[in-house]
Chains A and B, each alone.
Chain A
Amino acid sequence: MKTRTTIFKMLALLIGTAAVFSSCKPKGPADVAMGDAASKVYVAPGKYDEFYNIVSGGFNGQIAVYGIPSGRLFKILPVFSVFPESGYGYSEETKPMLNTSHGFVPWDDLHHIALSTTKGEHDGRWIFANGNNTPRVARVSFKSFRTEEILEIPNSGGNHSSPFITENTEYLVAGTRFSIPMDNKDVPISSYKENFKGSISFVKIDPVNGHMNIAFQLRTPGFNYDLSRAGKGPSHGWFFFSCYNTEQAYTLLEVNASQKDKDFIMAVNWKKAEEYIAQGKGKTEKVRYAHNTYDDKTHSATSKMENEVLVLDVSEFPDIVYFIPCAKSPHGCDVDPTGEYIVGSGKLAAMMPVFSFTKIQNAIANKDYEGDFNGIPVIKYEAALHGEVKKPGLGPLHTEFDEKGNAYTSMFVSSEIVKWNVKTLEILDRVPTYYSIGHLSVPGGPTAKPHGKYVIAYNKITKDRYLPTGPELSQSAQLYDISGDKMRLLLDFPTVGEPHYAEAIPASMITPTSTKIYKIEENEHQYAAKGEAQAKVERKGNEIHVYMTAIRSHLTPDNIEGVRLGDEVFFHVTNLEQDWDVPHGFAIKGAANAEILIMPGETQTLKWKPLTTGVVPFYCTDFCSALHQEMSGYIRISPAGSNTPLKFSTGKIEGQP
């Protein structure tokens, strides 16, 4: 027995030894001494974080809001996906937000964030986001942290290079990731070169209310449009897009779209395009796309189907678009705060070209072209080049900037952030990330006036960084201090969904205008009961409309009778509270959709179809007071055709006056 135990111990030791062997094999980055890291990320109880971090959720179709430097999660904000927690996409008021030309699409793949800017600087008005799958863009209010508008993008195969915005938020762009045959044409896939086209939409943003409308689309050559950034300062009026698969492959892109040494950065003179549109040169095309808006007075969304779009084919207007060769399958295409430098990140290249806007302009003026692609001039690489960052690391993806003239590039394959000087192109520092970083964010990093201080890494691989939770792990973000010459890792924090791009903005720009309540007297919902006296139940054919109120700690009415099998019941619940952070919830047994949360002063509707006779309880789901458990009621369901009279009450006891 003893011998057996010894053998087991020895085996365990040997296994342990093997593990140690594998762990010391690489001469990887050593443990990083941290010193005062804890105090740098510690936000004392009751104190606020310095920055909001607005983080895309990828395949969860949501945005998450974190505090920086603490990494604390404050809110999950549904955009393109239903959210049973609040009833978004389930309540009658919010369902139209997810309407598309394909019908109700309850999810999307939300990749990128763009915070509105004025003169290239954050202005704290709106958050824009893209739906990569069923092409859409969304606008979220920085006051209510709610999705106010979703616009579908027609003629698009997937909206990846989006929702990047111009200096004054004049336009937001939506470039198709996949080129497709336009007009739903039925053609062989092998006719890619002949039939497939790209499409870049310019969405005009109303400067007052933020409303989005497609001003025009550029019809572009058929390849993949990946990412983009608008020019700013001297390059305001231009937009830059990274393009891959200029091979125009349509199968096994892994191999066939990586054949050429160089793909393109596409430079677009959008002011020129605007001129052509103003001259009436756009062609109207018949399309179908949904435009959904949420009104915080009616507390309801409406969905409108649009059917036209203006198109400029760039092959007919040769001074709108220019190509610049850029090493191997560029991903990030980032413009520095001065607007002079454009960084192309060839994700398969061992160097990064940095282009100069001045040189691009000179090259165009001098027609310094190496040829053309489908009639579009291709500027000579050297003529546009400011210089190359040599051997920055492997798999450069994205670049953000600080206020001191430095750039920070994420390296997916070599799993690190590389800091370099934009002017001298000298590499200044590199830090490992754990593991395989995708996007990164410096507060104000894409703007003309970065706030600096931190860089946040959004990693794609977590593996052993946290306590294991089975095969599926949360994605890991990491916070680095960039205030000194060397970057310092301060904090790991888990994130929800799969963050792609994120932005961070000083909290001081957002907190003063944050919505606390909706004023009940401004509630224009058609089924609002703006006081208990207005609570009622109405029958319209087989629809039962319950005008219900909620206030601590009862629902009015809380007894409802006269509903029959075959009826559809609409609970229109108005929260009468006018007190910050006192939402009420509403749920009913057997609800096949969700519960709903109703903010103070708001009305939201849960539709319910009873399936059996009987008496069914309903109740408030959001703990609101000491008598929250008492906040409930009953609805009686009688057989179809019964003559149970329709009646409703609260506090009425049978037999008493």
Chain B
Amino acid sequence: MKRLILVATLLALFSCGQQQSTSTDASAPDEAVGGGQSTVQDNTSEPDVVHVAVGSPDHTTLVTALKGAEYVDVLSNAGPFTVFAPTNAAFDKLPAGTVEGLLKPESKDALRNILEYHVYVGVIKEDFIQDGMTLNQVNLDNVTLNKKDGKITVNGANVLGVVKASNGIVYIIDAVLLPPEKK
């Protein structure tokens, strides 16, 4: 009984409406089914970059930001992507109130711009990184990668770990990358 309650609670917590309908009722109203690619139910394939972030307890802020910017489906697509994923601690280093401000609906474009500054279309494996190499990110600004004694940094942020995903590669970093000010 206790377990059942737990399950019910979990359901209540996580269920926000099944998007895929498999109705075979011919009298059902015409209804197109459409969630983005992030809604594909697939527990067999290797996790994509979104699932890597969702599965990491250190990236809850990033996941919240991706959802806020409606960027989850984008990163669930074929890509391929190189994603620089700041940890919760990295977000905590920002001035107080920054994250909350970015999550406001009116800041969606600014938030997206920042997130897009963390994404490169293409897979840059660690071996390919050369000291001083630049990447032109999805928001059209460049980041600079450095590699010294095997230690990789991006715009000075330290790479804490690298996770390969089905549609790209995730570099876990210890600072949020902020796009250069527009002139």
Contacts and interface: CB of A to CB of B under 8 A. Distances in A.
Interface stretch (A31-39, A115-123, A501-509): A31-39
B27 interface: no
A348 B138 contact: yes
Given A395-B121, A461-B37, A31 B32 contact: yes
A608 to B, nearest CB: 46
A10 B7 contact: yes
B72 A24 contact: no
B18 A258 contact: no
Interface stretch (B38-46, B87-95, B169-177): B38-46
B34 A17 contact: no
Interface string A369-413: 000000000000000000000010011000000000000000011
A31 B122 contact: no
B110 interface: no
Nearest to B112: A391
B67 interface: yes
Interface stretch (B74-82, B96-104, B147-155): B74-82
A417 to B, nearest CB: 13
Nearest to A351: B140
B19 interface: yes
Contacts of A255: 122, 124, 128
Interface string B21-52: 10000000111111111111111000000110
23 contacts: A14-B10, A17-B10, A20-B11, A20-B18, A24-B19, A25-B67, A26-B39, A26-B70, A26-B73, A28-B35, A28-B70, A31-B21, A32-B32, A255-B128, A259-B134, A259-B136, A328-B136, A391-B109, A413-B79, A415-B77, A434-B34, A436-B77, A464-B40
Contacts of A15: 43
B162 interface: no
Contacts of B121: 258, 348, 395, 413
Interface in A2-25: 10, 13-15, 17-25
A25 B54 contact: yes
B153 to A, nearest CB: 18
A97 B170 CA distance: 49
Nearest to A24: B16
Size category of the binding interface on chain B: 35 or more
Interface of B: 3-4, 7, 10-11, 14-21, 29-43, 50-51, 54, 67, 70, 72-74, 76-79, 109, 116, 121-124, 128, 134, 136, 138-140
A426 B88 CA distance: 37
A31 B31 contact: yes
Given A26-B36, A348-B136, A37 B72 contact: no
Nearest to A395: B121
B14 to A, nearest CB: 4
Nearest to A488: B32
A538 to B, nearest CB: 58
Nearest to A19: B41
A478 B23 CA distance: 20
A28 B36 contact: yes
Majority secondary structure, A binding face: loop
B35 to A, nearest CB: 5
A31 B79 CA distance: 24
Contacts of B42: 463-464
B36 A29 contact: yes
A335 to B, nearest CB: 25
A460 interface: yes
Interface string A452-494: 0000000011011000000000000000000000000100000
B32 A23 contact: no
Contacts of B138: 348, 350, 394
B52 to A, nearest CB: 13
B74 A261 contact: no
Given A255-B122, A415-B37, A34 B139 contact: no
Contacts of B29: 33-34
A435 interface: yes
Nearest to A463: B40
B78 A436 contact: yes
A258 B41 CA distance: 33
A244 to B, nearest CB: 13
Given A25-B72, A26-B39, A435-B36, 7 more contacts: A10-B7, A24-B19, A25-B54, A255-B124, A258-B122, A415-B36, A489-B32
